[in-house]
Homo-oligomer: A and B are copies of this chain.
Amino acid sequence: MPARSEREIQLSASEDWCVLNEVDLSQVEQHSVERLYQTGEALFREGDAVKGVYYVQSGLVGVRKADPYGNPTLLKLAWPGDTLGYRPLLANQCHRASAEAFRKGVVCFVDSKTVLQLIEATPALGLNFLKRAAKELGDAEQRFHDSVTLDMRTRFAHLLLVMQQQQKYVRGDSDGSAELLLPISRSDIAAMLGVRRETVSRAIRVLEESGVAYFSQRQVLVPDPASLTKTLIR
């Protein structure tokens, strides 16, 4: 039994790539490059031709879009285990967003040809991407609907809830209160909600005045998480 590299082990643990067998995995191993990205470094930019996909091994990557006037939107965050860039590859388009390391981390690059061959050889991999795309499509449509239907305070509460549920930066306390560490800056929160920095600041003040959540730098204390949901409903 051949030794499996760290990377192979990581890939086989991912939700998308886990369907690959030993042979396929070693093929990925051969045709992929891993690289350490520094905070702020770009993986790819909007408009670039698609050369392959990016598998996030560690760190945190943000996917942004900006209009010609520079207004940025943050479309999503990619955590370790997530794969980026498969969408434009399969849709045969250029990158329609930019990806940038939000903190130092290792990202593994697999070139297009290899990905397409793998999907050919192992349809289940394509099916996994299909399922993921289907799910993300639903989320994207929901986001559009929300951005148009809900006010920003509600969307903010929703975002906090999601970040809490990701359980990636959460600590529950015995008294039912929850503490979370936001992975991103105020500007980036604003970019996710599609509003301005200042509006986020004002929302934070309102949340604190009404006792729903307390912010200190990137730490958030939510005495009663259920009240977040209530903010949602109102």
Contacts and interface: CB of A to CB of B under 8 A. Distances in A.
Interface of A: 65, 67, 71, 73, 75, 86-93, 96-97, 119, 123, 126-127, 129-131, 133-138, 140-145, 147-150, 194-195
A91 B131 contact: yes
A191 to B, nearest CB: 9
22 contacts: A65-B145, A67-B145, A67-B149, A67-B150, A71-B148, A87-B134, A88-B134, A90-B130, A91-B131, A91-B135, A92-B131, A96-B141, A96-B142, A123-B126, A123-B127, A130-B130, A130-B133, A136-B137, A137-B140, A140-B141, A144-B144, A147-B148
A141 B97 contact: yes
A129 to B, nearest CB: 6
How many protomers of this protein does the assembly include? Answer: 2
A97 B138 CA distance: 9
Nearest to A91: B134
Given A87-B134, A126-B123, A134-B91, A140 B150 contact: no
For chain A, what secondary structure do more than half of its interface residues adopt (helix, strand, loop), or is it mixed? Answer: helix
Nearest to A92: B131
A88 B86 CA distance: 20
A234 to B, nearest CB: 11
A141 B90 contact: no
A71 B149 CA distance: 7
Contacts of A133: 130, 133-134, 137
Contacts of A93: 135, 138
Contact of A75 (B92, B129, B145): B145
B149 A96 contact: no
Interface centre among A67, A148, A194, A195, by most B CB within 10 Å? A148
Contacts of A129: 130
The 10 closest A-B pairs by CB, nearest first: A148-B194, A140-B140, A91-B134, A123-B123, A133-B133, A90-B134, A130-B130, A91-B135, A87-B134, A137-B137
Contacts of A145: 65, 67, 73, 75
